[in-house]
Each structure stands twice: as C-alpha cells, then as structure tokens.
Amino acid sequence: MEHHTLFYRFGVALFIGLLVGLQREFSYDEEDKSSKKTFAGIRTFTLMGLLGSTAAFLADLFGSPWIFVGIIVAFGLLIAVSYFVSARRGEMGLTTEISAILIVLIGALAFWDEMAAATALGVVMVALLSLKKELHRFVERINREDVLATLKFAIITAIILPVLPDQSFWPAPFDVLNPYKIWLMVVLISGISFLGYMLVKAVGSNRGVGLTGLLGGLVSSTAVTLSFSQRSQKDERLAKPFALAITIAWTVMFIRVLIVVGALSRPLLGAVWLPILAAGLAGLAYGVYLYFAPRHDDDGSVSVSNPFELGPAITFGLLYGVILLISRAAQLYFGDTGVYISSILSGLADVDAITLSMAELSNTGALELTTAARAIVLATMSNTVVKGSIVLTGGSPALRRAFLPGFILILITGVSLAFVL
C-alpha cells in the first residue's frame, strides 16, 4: 500500500475520533471537568480512532485477523474495567464506553477503505451524542399510543408490504388495482404524516402559530384549519395569528403534493408544478402579509393526534383503490371530462388519494400528463374550498375577515393556471 493512501486512511480515522472526542469533552458539565472524572476526552478518542486503524493495519500486515481480534478484546477489557470503576462511583451510564468501542471499529473501517460507512457512522454518532437533551425531551412528550403507532407503521412497511403481489389480476378498468402499489402509497402517505407528527412532538405544539401551521400541515392541514377556526370563537383578537397558521398549513399542503408527485412521476411533476407552486406562493405571500401585520401574540398550540392507526391506513388504501378505479373508468367511458369531475369530487374528501391515482395512471400511460396534472390541480382546489368552508362557517367574524382575501387569492391563482396547462 502506498504511503499517501495509508496516511489518508489513518487521517480519516484520526479526524472522526477527534470530532467525537470534541463532542464528548464539550458535553461534560463544569463539575465533571473540575473533578477530572471523565472517562475520555478529545485526546483519548482521537487515539482510539488511531488504535482501530492500527489494529486493522497490523492484522493486514501480518496476514492474521487474530491480531485485530486480540487488540479489540484487550481494549474491551479496559472498557470493562473503566465501567466497573464508574459504576462503583454511582455513574451507571454506558454512552461514553459504547462510543469508545464504536470509534475503534470506525477507525478499522477507515483503514479498510470503507469510507462511506465510517463517515456515516461517525456523523450519526456525533449527532446522537449532541442531541441528548432534545431526545430526552422528545421521549417525555410521547406516550404509549405513540409507541404502538410506530410499531404498527413498522409492521405495514417491513412485513405487509413485501408479501403483497406486485401485479394486477383483472381486465380494464380493474387493471389499475395492484395490491403492492396500493399499499406502497399507504406507506408513503402514512410516512409523511407520521414524520410531521413526530416533528410536532419533537419541538412541541406551542412554539408559535407559524411553526404550528408548518408542522401541522405535514400531518393534516384540515386538522389545523378546524382547530384554529374553533379557537377563534373564544378570542377574536387572535384572528390574524390563526389565519396565519391556517394559511401556512395550506401552503405546506401544496408543497406536499409536489413532493408526492415528484417522488412518483418526474414527467407529471413537470406538468403540474406551475399551478400548484403558484397557488402555494400565493398562500405564502399572504402569510407574509399576515406575519408582519399588527397582531396579538399566542402560544399557537394545537392538538394534533397521532396520524397513524391501522384502521385509517386501511381506509385510505381502500379509498385510494376506489378513486384509482373510478378515475380509470371515468377516463375510459367519459374521457377527460369524467376524470375532472371525479377529481373534484375526490378532492372534497382527500387530496393524497387522487394525487397518487393520477400519478399512477399517467405512469402507466392510461392518462395524458396534461389531463392528470389538471385533475390534481382541480382536486387541490376542491379540497381548499372544503377547508375554506370550515373557516367561513366555523370561524369567528374576525377570522373570516383576515382569512378571506388569502383564500380567494389561492383559489383564483390555482384555478386560472389549471386551464392554461
């Protein structure tokens, strides 16, 4: 092995050890620093990274893996002794000890030229060590139902999805009913909503109306709309902050549609991005106006329940399959007009299902890109009308006055651009 290659690999191990050691030493509180009871700091972790590379180098040099095993075992014994001493002092944590073992193994990976794995492990390791307080706060905010919902999501993703057949069994229009693809869409939408919910849990639901609208829009823009509309009845002075949260949640909904379409069909994204993005920017522009307008402060908290349960997931899968079938039949028997009508009606209940349906039909060639794009825009505008009706019927007069101009602006922008595709 050439010297510059050898130095490069040892250098990567040294740098990762240095980075982790820097984080560990920085994380020690003032009492630990003054008492000098720290297990390992920046110098020790740097040496551990070099130890891993050296062990791998010696094993490669002498052609015996037992040299590497022997060094790792000896190091493990030192870690065990250190933990025993710490435990006798009442310090029961294993984080630093496990980090020490992992950094040695990362050093070995760096020598074996597994740079991607070594770097990724090092970055993840530093992130987990640095986010200690945030992770603990996150755990305090979740409950048993959240844990069970996470397990259910793992079940539908890792167990149910792989065993479903990836093919259709019936003639047109039933040829669009592919069990695997239908359930894959359930996983996709559930995953986006679940991510948004976990972000709300991580940062809290009382960080201001803007952030609440942003994160709540990932979970359900309808839930945000309904929540703040109801709250506006109790205090009309907060009409503009509530209108801001609702507008931001709607803007996130438009961005979410673009993300879903882009993940499934790049050609369709190229056809649909202009009206959807324009409607989102219209909402964003009005949100900026509301943000700088004189308003009262509020904690912005909103109750957002865990979006993932098996029942709603199955219901969404059935809804998606039905809309997919109806859209395919409408296109076969009534042409583009039938697709537009079915999209408007579907959008009254759910945007995700019709968006996924149009993406699937355009991917298979059953629907032209322009027709699919226009149908998605009409569905989003239909859903926007439903949510706007919630505000106009359930919100306070002050909220309606603050909200109505942005509502009209979004509708006019989206609908007008839908027919120039």
Per-residue pLDDT at 34: 46
How far apart, in Å, do the first and last CA atoms of the chain sit? 60
Please, are residues 352 and 247 in contact by the beta-carbon 8 Å criterion? no
Q: What is the pLDDT of residue 55?
A: 93
Tell me the per-residue pLDDT of 30-72, one tens digit each, with 9 for 90 and over: 445 444 455 667 888 899 999 999 999 999 988 889 999 999 9
Cα dihedral across residues 184, 190, 196, 202: positive or negative: negative
CA Rg, the chain, in Å? 28
Instruction: For residue 1, give both structure tokens.
Output: 């092995």
Buried b (16+ CB within 10 A) or exposed e, 321-345: bebbbbbbbbbeeeebebbbebbbe
Query: What confidence score (pLDDT) does residue 381 get?
Result: 92
Q: Which residue from 109, 105, 106 is spatially nearest to 16, judged by alpha carbons?
A: 106
Which residue type occupies 238? Answer: L
Return per-residue pLDDT of the chain as tens, 421 residues: 677 788 888 999 999 999 988 887 777 654 454 444 556 678 888 999 999 999 999 999 888 899 999 999 999 898 888 778 777 776 666 777 888 899 999 999 999 989 989 999 999 998 888 888 777 777 777 777 778 777 877 887 888 888 888 887 777 678 768 888 888 877 776 776 676 666 666 665 545 556 667 777 777 787 778 777 877 887 677 788 888 888 998 998 899 899 989 988 899 999 899 999 999 999 999 988 888 876 555 544 555 555 556 676 777 778 777 877 887 787 677 888 888 888 888 887 778 888 888 888 888 888 888 999 999 999 999 889 988 988 888 888 988 988 899 999 999 998 888 777 6
pLDDT value at residue 295: 55
